[in-house]
Amino acid sequence: MTYPWWDRCLVDLAPDERQFMTVDHGQADVAFHRHPSGDVLFTLPVEAFGHDPEATFMEWSGGYLTPDLAVVALGGEGQDEEEWFRHHLSTCGRARSAARSPSR
What does the pLDDT look like over 38-63, one tens digit per residue? 999 999 999 999 999 999 999 999 99
3 in any annotated domain: no
Is the separation of the CB atoms in 69 and 92 below 8 Å?
Answer: yes
Question: Which residues have C-beta within 8 Å of that of residue 89, sequence separation ≥ 6?
Answer: 65, 69, 70, 71, 72, 97, 98, 99, 100, 101
Provide the domain limits for residue 88.
Answer: 8-101
12 in any annotated domain: yes
The C-alpha atoms of residue 80 and residue 67 are separated, in whole angstroms, by 38
Looking at per-residue pLDDT, the higher value among 100 and 87 belongs to 87
24 in any annotated domain: yes
What pTM did the predictor assign? 0.84
Domain count, the chain: 1
68 in any annotated domain: yes
